[in-house]
Amino acid sequence: MVIRTLSNLPGVSGHEEPVREYLWEESRAFIDNHWIDSMGNLILLKKGTSCSKKVMMLAHMDEVGLMVRHIEKKGTIRFSTLGGIEPSVLAAKPVIIHGKENIPGVIGMKPIHLQAPEEIKSPLKKDSLYIDTGHASDEELKRLTQPGDPITFDTPFAPLGQLWKGKAFDDRAGCAILLETLKMNIQPAYDTFFVFCVQEEVGLRGSRIAAQRIEPDLAFVFEGTTACDIPLVDPHRWTTQLGQGPAFTIAHHGLVFQASILQSLSTLAQENQIPFQWKQKIAGGNDSTPISKAGVGCITGSISLPVRYIHSPASLMSPKDYEATLRLSELILRKQSNFFTHDGRLS
């Protein structure tokens, strides 16, 4: 299963190589050209019957995670975060340090029995956490790892009731959707660039470079987004819900999406009985913002898979949402002309 493999691969921001290598090996038989740019983005070209337009379909390879900052004398590791991670979700979680070899560890903290009352009442801070690898000394550990080495959560993909559990669904789910779409070997109407970009979680960096290189006329970003359909959140504050299909974003930080692309996406879904939902929260953002502002600008759509407990060691996603999003991705590729008028303008 593509999503299982991609979720299990390590690939924090700046260290996406294992993900990129897998995507390249799996896709190379279905493309006409490819590039790996200076940032590390993987760009795959599927030629269309016409080269008059350029369409880009993008997902980011990187996941939130940690990085070795300092190795202490008693063999524990201090770390930095890569991407937006709330420290309260980290204590006692198993991790893997990717040094000269993979080193298992557990995130530790001061035992609650030894904490002063003010410590117990205070929010957990990153500097009060460390990684225990079971090694007795820094000399022993320094032979295996060094500052800058990436650290991922040790959360293997697995079914959980009617859902999937795993790490990195943001955005390996989007990567899996695009890879499976590529493998359908569809001949698109226009030259289509499948982009697997880097460093989204640390500043939306790779997508801007890719868009400036490609200069697309139309772009679609496939992304994981937060699902808040849990008992502790009032229903009117649910950003998205699991099982209701992909979410279309109306606006978020830095971008208000054009009504034409929202209408085209919703019409395509409705005509093909694909369930979808509107993302209910405006805060946050993704690669669609830098893409829309690259070069002379590009009309962009954002298609998100709902994910519970996003940016944490373990997330949940619905197979129903995944299949609905895959079907929508296939139709976007098959029916690209639906997004343009008969005289070639974006509808």
**pLDDT score recorded for residue 344:** 58
Contact 108, 129 (CB under 8 A): yes
Active site (catalytic) residues: 200
Cα atoms found within 13 Å of the Cα of residue 122, Cβ hemisphere only: 10
**Domains annotated on the chain, with CATH:** 2-63+167-339 (3.40.630.10), 65-153 (2.40.30.40)
**Band of the pLDDT at 98, cuts 50, 70, 90?**
very high
**pLDDT score recorded for residue 295:** 86
Cα–Cα distance list, 21 to 40, 142, 232 (Å): 11, 28, 40
Mean local confidence (pLDDT), 222-243: 89
Query: What ranges in 143-258 are assigned the alpha helix state H?
Result: 169-183, 205-214
End-to-end CA distance of the chain: 36
Task: Kindly report, residue by residue over 294-339, the tens digit of the pLDDT.
Answer: 888 899 999 999 999 999 999 999 999 999 999 999 999 999 988 9
Arithmetic mean of pLDDT over the chain: 93
**Band of the pLDDT at 347, cuts 50, 70, 90?**
low
Residue of higher predicted confidence among 342 and 184: 184
Q: By percentage, how much of the chain surpasses pLDDT 90? A: 81
- pLDDT value at 136 more than 90: no
Q: DSSP label at 53?
A: E
Q: Is 236 exposed, middle or buried (0-12, 13-18, 19+ CB in 10 A)?
A: exposed
Mean local confidence (pLDDT), 215-241: 91
Tokens of 335: 């029916």
Task: Kindly report, residue by residue over 40-59, the tens digit of the pLDDT.
Answer: 999 999 999 999 999 999 99
* β 33-36/158-160 pair status: unpaired
**Band of the pLDDT at 147, cuts 50, 70, 90?**
very high
Tokens of 204: 């939306």
Task: Kindly report, residue by residue over 248-304, the tens digit of the pLDDT.
Answer: 999 988 899 999 999 999 999 999 999 999 998 777 789 999 999 988 889 999 999
3-class DSSP state for residue 30? helix
Tokens of 324: 């609905």
- pLDDT value at 114 more than 70: no
3-class DSSP state for residue 35? strand
Which residue, 215, 200, 196, is CA-closest to 37? 196
**pLDDT score recorded for residue 74:** 86
53 contact partners, CB below 8 Å, separation of at least 6: 189, 190, 191, 217, 218, 336, 340, 344
Length of the chain: 347
Query: What ranges in the chain are assigned the alpha helix state H?
Result: 2-8, 17-27, 117-121, 138-142, 169-183, 205-214, 259-271, 288-293, 319-334
**Band of the pLDDT at 23, cuts 50, 70, 90?**
very high
Q: DSSP label at 308?
A: B
Tokens of 145: 């790892």
- pLDDT value at 20 more than 80: yes
Residue 108: how many CB atoms within 10 A of its CB? 16
**pLDDT score recorded for residue 273:** 97
pTM of the model: 0.94
Q: Is 147 exposed, middle or buried (0-12, 13-18, 19+ CB in 10 A)?
A: middle
**pLDDT score recorded for residue 124:** 81
Residue 56: its H or E element: strand 50-60
**pLDDT score recorded for residue 284:** 77
**Band of the pLDDT at 116, cuts 50, 70, 90?**
confident
- pLDDT value at 343 more than 70: no
**Band of the pLDDT at 18, cuts 50, 70, 90?**
very high
Task: Kindly report, residue by residue over 61-96, the tens digit of the pLDDT.
Answer: 999 999 999 999 888 999 999 999 999 999 999 999
**pLDDT score recorded for residue 222:** 98
